[in-house]
Amino acid sequence: MKAWKYSLVFASIALLRASSDPAMAQNLEPAALAHPSSDSWPTYHGDYSGKRHSKLNQITPGNVGSLTLAWAFQTNQNAPIKSTPLLVDGILYFTVPDNIWAVDARSGHALWHYNKPTDEGLHIGHRGVAMYKGWLYYLTPDSHLISLNAKDGTIRWDVVVADVKKGYWTTMAPLVVRNHVIIGVSGDFDNLAGYLRSIDPETGGTQWQWDSTPPAGTPNSTTGGMTWMTGTYDPELNLLYWGTGNPTPVLNGKPRPGDNLYTCAIVALNPDTGKLTWAFSASPHDTHDWDAVETPILVDGDFHGKPHKMVMQASRNGYFFVLDRTNGKSLLTSTFGPVNWSLGVDKEGRPIPNPAKEPAPDGRLIAPDEGGMTNYRAPSFDPTTGLFIVDAHPSYSIYFAKAADGIYGWAGADYGLWGKGVIEAIDYQTGKLRWTHEVGDGGSGAGVLTTASGLTFTGDAHGSVLALATKDGRTLWHSGMGSPMVSSPIAYELDGRQFVMTSSGGVLFAWTLPQTERNAVAKH
C-alpha cells in the first residue's frame, strides 16, 4: 500500500517535472536559430545562411530510388502552398493566405487551423510564419502582424504594419534575430516606399524601420524597393542581408533618373539599429520589374584561392552575383541564361542597363521575361561540390510603355512570349554552369534543397518531384504529385527517420525510406 502511494507521488512529480521541462514544450529559443538541430527547420530558410542545405544523409543517391510516401496532408484549399513549413518540437507550421496549420510531423494530422478571411490586400501567396519561444508571427494579406500561441493558434496581439488602403500587402515569413522580428512589405502597384521593420516579439511595438526609398512625392526620386522575401543573417558580423524589390513607376524609368537606390539591391543592415552598412545594386535603374529579393545565400569558403565571407544571389534579372559580405564588394558577376537588356558590367560588378531596352511605345524584345530568370522559389548551395543550384527560367518577352501609360504604378505593359524551366548548377568560382537539367516548357516554380549525401530535391513543370544527383544533375527518383510544386522543399529527421517535405497544390507530402530499407542502411 505504502509502496503504491510512493510510486503515485513519484509519478506525479515526474509528470510535473515533464510538463515544466522546457524540452517538452513547444518552444524555440532564439539562440537555437544559429545552430538548428537536425529534427527542426526553425526558420523560413532552415538556418540563417539561406543555403537550404540539409546535413542529413540517411537518404542517399544509392537508396533514394525507393523513397516512398510517409503521409500527405490535404488543406482542401484552392490556394497552392507556397510557404516553407517551420518544424519545431515535432510540429509543422505552414500557411496559405488567411490560413495557418499546425500539423503533427510524425502522423500528418492537424492540431489546429487558423482561418480568418480578409477582403483586402492581394492574396497572391504566403511564405510562412516565424517563431520566437512559444509564439508564432504571421503577416496577413491586409498587412497586420499577428502573434499567436503556437500551442493552439490563439491570437496574443495584432498590430498593423502597413497601410493596405495605400496599396501595401504582406506575404513574407518574418525572420527572428534575438529579440527582433524582422518583417518586410509588398506593394508595387502604387508609388510607395518599401521598408523593413523590426518588431518587439513580446509587445508588437516597432523597434526600428529602414526605408528602401524616400517618401512618395520626393522630386526626381524613385519609390518602391519592397522587401517581400525573407533575408539571411550573419551572427558573427551581426548583419542582416536583404534583397529589395523593383522601383516604381515600374516600367517607366523617366520620372526616376539614376540608379534608384535602394531598389533592386542587396543591402546589409545592423539588426539592432536598422542602420545600413552597405548596399549593392543588382539592377541599377530597373524598368522590367526584376526584384532582387531572391535569397542572399551566405557562404564561407575559398574564392580564387583565398578564404572569403561571401554572399551569393541568382537574381531575377538573369545575373549571378558573388560579393564579399563584409563590405559588399563584387567578387564575380555572370549571367545564368539569356540576358539582352544590359551593356555589360561596370567595374563595381553591376550590370549597366541599356537605355535602348527600356520599355517603348512600339515594344522591346527582352530576356528574361517579367517573372525573371528566377523568382521567389529558393535556390540551394551545396558546400561539397561548390555548386549554387537554382531553378532558372530562360525566357523572352515584349515590353511596352508610352506617355499615355502615365507615371503611376505599372505605367506600361509587358507580355511573355516563351520560356522554359532549367535546373542549373552554377560553379560560384567561375559563374559557369557545370550541369543543367531541363524541367519543361513554361518553367517550374519549384525551389531547391540539397543534402549532405549528394542529393538535390526539386520539381518539374508537370507536377513531378525530382531527386537529382548533385554532382551531375541525373534524375535518381521522381514521383507525380498532381500539380507543379510552387514551394521549396525541406528535410528533417524524426525518431531516426529522415523526411523530405514537398508540396503540390494544397497538399503537403512527407517522403521517407521504407522501414526495411532503413534497417538495411543501419546494418551497413
Give the shortest CB-330-to-other proteins separation in angstroms: 26
Residues 6+ apart with CB under 8 A from 100: 93, 94, 113, 114, 129, 136, 138, 148, 153
Residues 6+ apart with CB under 8 A from 55: 38, 451, 452
User: Cβ-count burial of 260 within 10 angstroms (0-12 exposed, 13-18 middle, 19+ buried)?
Assistant: buried
Interatomic CA distance for residues 401 and 253, integer angstroms: 10
Instruction: Specify the residue, 117 or 496, whose C-beta has the smaller distance to other proteins.
Output: 117
Query: Is the CB of residue 133 less than 8 Å from the CB of residue 29?
Result: yes
Contacting residues toward other proteins, per CB under 8 A: 78, 80, 97, 115-124, 141, 189, 249, 289, 338, 340, 356, 360-365, 367, 370-371, 396, 398, 400, 402, 404-413, 415-418, 438-440, 442, 460-462, 464, 466, 475, 478
Instruction: Specify the residue, 449 or 466, whose C-beta has the smaller distance to other proteins.
Output: 466
Residues 6+ apart with CB under 8 A from 73: 101, 103, 108, 109, 110, 507, 508, 510
Give SS3 for 165. helix
Instruction: Specify the residue, 243 or 328, whose C-beta has the smaller distance to other proteins.
Output: 243
Give the shortest CB-493-to-other proteins separation in angstroms: 29
Interatomic CA distance for residues 299 and 303, integer angstroms: 10
Give the shortest CB-141-to-other proteins separation in angstroms: 7
Instruction: Specify the residue, 78 or 220, whose C-beta has the smaller distance to other proteins.
Output: 78
Give the shortest CB-204-to-other proteins separation in angstroms: 18
Task: Provide the grid cell at 67.
Answer: 523513397
∠ CA 419-421-426, rounded to 5°: 120
- Please give the DSSP secondary-structure letter assigned to residue 18: H
Give the shortest CB-378-to-other proteins separation in angstroms: 19
Give the shortest CB-265-to-other proteins separation in angstroms: 20
Give the shortest CB-218-to-other proteins separation in angstroms: 17
Residues 6+ apart with CB under 8 A from 177: 30, 33, 48, 233, 240, 271
Give the shortest CB-299-to-other proteins separation in angstroms: 30
Interatomic CA distance for residues 109 and 61, integer angstroms: 30
Instruction: Specify the residue, 17 or 113, whose C-beta has the smaller distance to other proteins.
Output: 113
Instruction: Specify the residue, 298 or 486, whose C-beta has the smaller distance to other proteins.
Output: 486
Instruction: Specify the residue, 134 or 442, whose C-beta has the smaller distance to other proteins.
Output: 442
Instruction: Specify the residue, 278 or 400, whose C-beta has the smaller distance to other proteins.
Output: 400
Residues 6+ apart with CB under 8 A from 43: 33, 36, 86, 130, 173, 175, 176, 230
